[in-house]
Amino acid sequence: MSTPHRRRRGPLTTSLALAAAVTLAAAPVASAQSTAQPDGAIAVSSLGATNEIPGSVAGSLGSLAEPAYAEYVALGDSYAAFGDQSDVAAPCARSASNYPGQLDESPAVGELTDVTCGGAVTSDMFEAQHPGVAPQLEALDEDTDLVTLSIGGNDVGFGSIVGCITGGAPGSPRDCESELGSTVSGLIADVYGEDGAVDEIYAEIAERSPGATVIATQYLPLMPATDAAGCQFTQFIGTENLEWAREITQAINDAVDEAARRNGHVSALPVDSTDRSGCAPASERWVVFLDGSENNAASFHPTALGQQAMADAIAAAL
C-alpha cells in the first residue's frame, strides 16, 4: 500500500514576506532572480557558487500577497517524484526532496498532498497505477488551490528514447531519429495536442478544483545545450543522437507549454547559462545520465539540485 505524502502546517502567517528560505542538505541559499522566457521557461540567474541552491523558493513565494496556497496537490511522473534516492517511498519511488517537497518548505504553501509516482502515464491520472495506489486525480477537491503537473514524457516514449541512444556500441551508435523520430513526433502530437490526453487531465482538474492555480513542469534536459568537450556519454551516443535528443526534448517541452497555455495555465522550466546537464560536474548537475551514484539520483532523472531549481522556477511562475 502506498499513501500520498501529506504535510500539514499550523496556521499560516499573515505576512508571507517572513517566509524562510528552503534548505537542502544545509547548503546556503544563493541570491537569485527568475524571469519568464517567451517559451514559458523560467531563467534562474545569479546562481552564485556551484554548491549553492539555485535560488530560494521562499524568496519568490514570500513576496506574494494573501491568500496563501493552503491546499497543494502535486501530480505527475518520476521527474516530479524523484529526488534523493536514499529516501523514497515504494512503489512510486517518491522522495521527500522532490520539488513538491521543497515547495512545501515555504510557509506560503499549506498542506501538501504528493501523489507523484515514478513511471506514471496520462491514464494513471484516472486509473490506479499500482495496487493500493489511487488514481492521482482523486487527490483533488474543491479546496485545492495549487496544482503542479508533470506528465506525458512516458506516454511519448521517454524510456524508448533513452534505450535507443544508449543501445549502440562504442563508435557505432544507433540511428535513433530514423528508428523512432516519426513515432515520437506523432505521440507528442497525440498526447499534448488539442483534445488529447493532457487536455483531458486539465479538464478534470478544472472540474474537481475550479479555483486552483495550475503550473505544468517541463522536463529538465539531459543533454548539454552545446558540445561538452570530454563528456564520455555524449561521445558514446554520437553527434546525431545528441542533436536529436536535444530536438526531441525541446519538442516535448514546447508541447507541454502549449498545452498548458491552451488550457489557461503556464509551464515552468529553470534555465541557466551554466551547464547543468549530465555532462556537468557532479556538484552542478540538475540531471544525471546512467550512473547517478555521485548525486544519489535515479538514472536519467533530475538530481536533488535539479528538483530545487524546478521548485524555484515554479515559485517564480506563481
Say if residues 25 and 303 touch (Cβ distance below 8 Å): no
Measured distance CA(159)–CA(255) in Å, rounded: 18
Residue labelled with grid coordinates 478534470: 204
Q: Is 5 a catalytic residue?
A: no
Say if residues 102 and 308 touch (Cβ distance below 8 Å): yes
Say if residues 93 and 120 touch (Cβ distance below 8 Å): no
Which listed residue (95, 97, 209, 301) is catalytic?
A: 301
Query: Which of 57-96 are b and which e, b meaning 16 or more Cβ less than 10 Å from the residue's Cβ?
Result: bbbbbbebeeebbebbbbbbbbbbbbbbbeebbebbbbbb
CB atoms near residue 249 (< 10 Å): 19
Say if residues 266 and 39 touch (Cβ distance below 8 Å): no
Which listed residue (60, 78, 97, 209) is catalytic?
A: 78
Q: Is 301 a catalytic residue?
A: yes
DSSP string, 195-223: TSHHHHHHHHHHHH-TT-EEEEE-PPPSS
CA distances from 190 to 178, 185, 255 (A): 20, 9, 10
**Residues designated catalytic:** 78, 301
